[in-house]
Amino acid sequence: MRLPTLCNLTISAALIWSSACLADWNAPDTNLLKNPGFEAGGDMPSEWNKGATTRFKRDCTTARSGNASLLWENDDPNSYQLLGQQVRLTPGRRYEISAWIKTDKLEGVRESGATICLEYKDASGNHIKGGQYPGGQKGTRDWWRLVAYSGPVPQQAAEGSFVCYVKRNNKSKKTFTGRAWWDDVCIRPLSLVTMMLQPSSKGIVKDSSPSLEFEFECWPGDFGLTFQQAAIEVRIVDKAGKTVLSQDYDITDRTTPASLDVRKLGAGVYTVVSIMKAKAANTELWRWEHQITRVTHGAATPKVYLDEHGRLIRNGKPMFPLGVYVRKAPVNQLANTPFNCFMSYDILTRKQMDLAHEVNLGVIYAINAYFHAMSNVRGDVQCVDDEVAAMLEQVEKHKNHPALIAWYVNDERGPDFLRELLAHYHALDQADGDHPAWTVHNVPSEMSMLINTTDVIGPDPYPVGLPGSHISNVSSKVIETRKQVRNARPMWVVPQIMDWANYKSVPSQPPSVEEMRCMSWQAITEGARGLIYYSLHDLFKNGNEDGEKRWADVKQMAGEVAQYSDILLSIEQCPELKVTAGTWLHWTSRRVGNTLYIFAVSDGSGSGEVAFNLNAACTRIVWQALGDSQAHDIEPDASSWKDTVENMQVKVYTITLR
């Protein structure tokens, strides 16, 4: 059977204009699965792993296309079975997985229902951590198409497993009862991946920066073509569907950068279409779509926005978001602390927003739970249109509130939710042109797939007390995140203050002040423009007495960051500086007038001598270790000096320039 492509489907208007639309109208069949329509076989479909499966069978009475489908039927909530097929994948490549799914009275547990997943195995057949596990569908619903995407396949992966299954609750180990069908399942490599690096915030193109900047990952070999035989065309399409600007680019390598000057575009909303095509036949092979908004001179300045340096600007002043995750809105607990904002998982009332504003606390408002394929979504959310409508209810209620500083749009949802994330992001941009969107994800290698779904991005490394993890993972994950988004999005990092024993069967090991300090400054020195700690409510899970002690430690550590937050926001040019040490050292510098600040931290993997060589004359150097109130003078030798940084220590050097 010929699988329908995304662009040939009848899908919602929101998804048509907002999703990364992938087309292969003239492509050969790139489906890597055998018997994807379950047409071949007897009681069980051929080519699929049968094992001891008793809940799955081939059904010749129900089909979306052709004459058969795969049926799962279950009346035992303790029975959990899967049916899969092994596929050869290319390490480093990204894939699309999809299936048509139908459900009948699929009920019983708090999970998202019938779905698919993609897992990886190494050459020895061992499972590799990671994979794509999109949410599914439950209840009774006619055929609908699930589409999800992967990040780069791990380098050690020898093959993948494409699996059809019905989810179970991880705590109770119970699964659904009822029936589910799969048909026209597919896994195919992405032949073109487009990252739109600029504009970097809300897709807004201004007169001050009137160019689009792209990076294309191209695989024309999927169609039997060389780089030289294919090209990229970028089209700018207006709301009427008319192409108003177009430019072709040669494909020079697997990764091809490009820019397009759009200064002549009039104000308005446009679709940016990037197409890989065969030069000789001028046929389209693959496409992605994104959205931009062109604003011209005289447009109103947003109330809250990101400037060209990635700084959050609120009421005309730069702000370093220093906040904490919370439940509800514990305004009184946060008032008069070093924190200037919070992110609440709960729907907030106008009164709660007002109280936050009264004590000068910014609110990062959560609109991250509106995915119809999530287990805990409200019942009336059944498709992408419903998701957008539900999300915009909260946006409309609070977008004009003075306490609002950003929207929390994604909590660890990867590219398996890419279509939905794009729809949400572009709908949000049209509804609120003022406040940035913030995404948090725990897999840095997948960040490049999320770059066009957010304005601010952040990893959330929690290494303390996690078996097999090291505190230096904070800097490595922040560095990898920055690399994946090509330094084109600011980072608000989520450092750990919680105890893993609250979530896993591990010994209690809440991070100490020293560890929290070390993690915070690893993030800052590697580029964080904000820190939002996880989480306040976790501190009190072992009682108020223990919680208050830990909360005091957190406030002490956060106060050290707040002390330097205005300095960290400085954009003055620093003199040339060379710092020589082991890879365990991370540092950054800022200049304010004739004072230079150097922040240096050991990531916990080493300590020792550090040599500084400053290409500027100075009159005084003072250093202070955070957590120690005593300051120390250094006598420089022609603007060069050496010092020792201990394990996990944070030192601040204050240099008076001549």
Query: Across residues 192-196, what is the average pLDDT?
Result: 97
pLDDT, tens digit, 9 for 90 and up, residues 628-645: 999 999 987 779 999 999
Give the residue ranges of DSSP H helices in 279-383.
331-334, 350-358
pTM (2 decimals)?
A: 0.93
Q: Answer whether residue 12 shows pLDDT above 60.
A: no
Residue 241 bridge partners (DSSP) = none
CA atoms within 13 A on the CB side of 359: 21
The reported pLDDT for the residue numbered 7 is 31
Residue 6 has pLDDT above 70, yes or no: no
Q: Residue 3 carries which DSSP code? A: P
pLDDT tens-digit series, residues 478-537: 999 999 999 999 999 999 999 999 999 999 999 999 999 999 999 999 999 999 999 999
* Burial class of residue 289, CB neighbours in 10 A (0-12, 13-18, 19+): buried
β-strand partners of 31 = none
- DSSP class of 502: G
pLDDT digits (tens, 9 = 90+) for 453-486: 999 999 999 999 999 999 999 999 999 999 999 9
Residues near 281 by beta carbon (within 8 Å), at least 6 away in sequence: 26
Q: Torsions phi, psi of 210, nearest 5? A: -90, 35
Task: Considering only residues 649 and 27, tell me which one the structure prediction assigns the higher pLDDT.
Answer: 649
The ranges assigned to domains in the chain are 31-189, 192-294, 319-568, 577-657
Please say if the pLDDT value at position 15 is more than 60: no
Q: What is the pLDDT of residues 157-186, one digit of tens each?
A: 999 999 999 999 988 999 999 999 999 999
Q: What is the pLDDT of residues 26-60, one digit of tens each?
A: 445 689 999 999 999 999 999 999 776 899 999 99
**What are the tokens at 150?**
């992967």
3-state class of 125 per DSSP? coil
Judged against a pLDDT cut of 80, whether residue 306 lies above it is answered with yes
Does the structure show a pLDDT above 90 at 573? yes
> Omega of the bond prior to 199 within 30 degrees of 0, cis?
yes
CA distance 378 to 372: 8
Question: What is the third-level CATH fold of 319-568?
Answer: TIM Barrel (3.20.20)
Give the CA dihedral 489, 207, 214, 279, nearest 10 degrees.
Answer: 170
Per CATH, domain 192-294 is 3.40.50.720: no
Helix, coil or strand: residue 548: helix
Instruction: Establish whether domains 192-294 and 319-568 are of one fold.
Output: no
Sign of CA dihedral 563, 568, 570, 575: positive
Give me the chain's average pLDDT, please.
93
Contact partners, residue 486, CB within 8 Å, separation at least 6: 195, 197, 215, 448, 451
| pLDDT higher than 80, residue 86 | yes
User: Using omega within 30 degrees of 0 as the cis cutoff, is the peptide bond preceding 18 cis?
Assistant: no
| pLDDT tens readout for residues 378-419 | 888 988 999 999 999 999 999 999 999 999 999 999 999 999
Q: CATH assignment of 577-657?
A: 2.60.40.1180
pLDDT at 374: 85
**pLDDT recorded at residue 3:** 29
Rounded Cα distance between 303 and 300, Å, is: 9
Position 255 pLDDT exceeds 50: yes
Domain 31-189 - what CATH class? mainly beta
Mean pLDDT of 248-271: 96
H helices within 301-417, ranges in order?
331-334, 350-358, 384-398
